[in-house]
Structure 1
Amino acid sequence: MSCPECFSGAVHEGTPTGTVTKLHGLDVYVAEPSSGNPPKAIIVLIPDIFGWTFVNLQLMADSFAKKKDYRVYIPEFMNGNAAPPSMLESLQKVIVPKTWYETFSKPYHILWLLVTAFPAIYLNRPGRTFPIVKSFMESLRQNEAAHLPVGVTGYCWGGKHTVLLAEGFTVDSKPLMDAGFTAHPSFLSLFGEIEKMTVPVSFAIGDKDNQVSPTQAKELEKIVLNKPDGQKGECRVYAGYGHGFACRGDVLNDDPKGAVEAEDQALAWFEKHFEGIKY
């Protein structure tokens, strides 16, 4: 499925404060609690199509770690095949050109988007990348997270993988993740993948999202709310927001309130579901 909005938005300002290391065979961005306290849980942030080095998501990882004393990992799940952030500027000029020159240059930007977008989508198709994600999660659970709760948060491309992980995979009789969150997930197979979930997942979806319509979001919410205790999810629809609002901004709505509230939604969900977990 094509998703032009998967490549839209903006690069945020700021300097990430985490470190880069090698973990279970992958390059990983790591954000540690700024308090100096031991981490009370581990969050794996699965990025959008712009990958693990995208500054917006590294800043978000820093924020998660600072606010809740989590250790946050952003692994390189794409083997160097992430889309370049420069695509954001090109798509912005295609969707909402601000000058006559940007209007005149639209064919150039469309060609550039085609040349860069399709390889990123093809090389990062879930059938190819999910085994890498699952293997990393297994190693993480057996090592760093052997005695800690694990949450997974996924954006756009990463949302698909969050939903797949929620099917209830285990290692050493422990779930690979204890709770999940996803904002504007892409490429979902609705509603079969939602029905297969056995791990509680919180969804944040804009009512102008091109991947999940308001009608589909309502059905999604019905499915996750009707799951048994311990598996129930939630779905919040953000009025006036489109695809990408939680991590890149939205070309249709540049109000950052939605992104702030989506982050609060994720943190509240993890706090709720990590309570009482001991391994």
Structure 2
Amino acid sequence: MLAAMRQAKILDEVRRTGGVRVAHLAALLGVSDMTVRRDLDALDRKGLLSKVHGGATAMETTSALEPTFEVASQREVWEKEVIAAHAATLVKPGMAVAITAGSTTWTLARHLGDIPDLTIVTNSLKVAEALNDRHRRDLTVVLTGGLRIPSDGLVGPIAVQAIRALHVDMVVMGVAGIDERAGLTTPNLLEAETNRAFVESARRLVVLADHTKWGAVGLAQFAPLSAVHTLLTDDRLPDDAAEVLSEQVSEVIIIPTTGESEPGGADGAPTTERDGRSA
């Protein structure tokens, strides 16, 4: 088993139980205690768990805790990749698309290189960097400006003013949390205001959220679930969550993350939870 796969399983077990011992993980993974300790060291350095004597515990989460882009980009890497690859198929030539800050949306930006005649509006320095191609004359990138926050997003009055002056075909948005009652949330008050402006500027709201975002609630809501036109997630989303989402969101696309097929390939055809048809 590759180190990345082991570490993903370790994170799943820690989040499921709240804390695990080295001996348990070694037996679960079929590796030595030393290998487990090295993996725990690596995950602890990335801020994904807390290493303690004899094992590890889950990171404490609060409604106002905002991870840095570097930390967020190390979480659920494969899930974000398959979600972003499918999201890219929703972007058509000639569109004006807003892309908000976040590690999943940054992954999406790296899949847009072959789509011609795009105008991208973003409040993300990372997204703008990913789209930086001096040889593409058909690509326009509009960076909103604003105050920089830990997620490397640009927020605040300057960003909001720029966004409200624009009208885009679609906004693609990552979220810190998604919940039945709280809707779409973020731990940052200024980011919430900026995201509201994005939602208001777009004809269609597309949300990219891996399974770990379900049930997480940030400090500030910026949209209810009913405002979402399309939500893309992975197949590790709990069944009860899929049922709730299908009742409130126009289209829920659940993308397989297991197996050997490429993202969006024939063996990994996503389904729409609301009606069960192929997406």
TM-score, scaled relative to structure 1: 0.32
Bigger Rg, structure 1 or 2: 2
Greater length-normalized contact order (CA 8 Å, ≥ 6 residues apart): 1
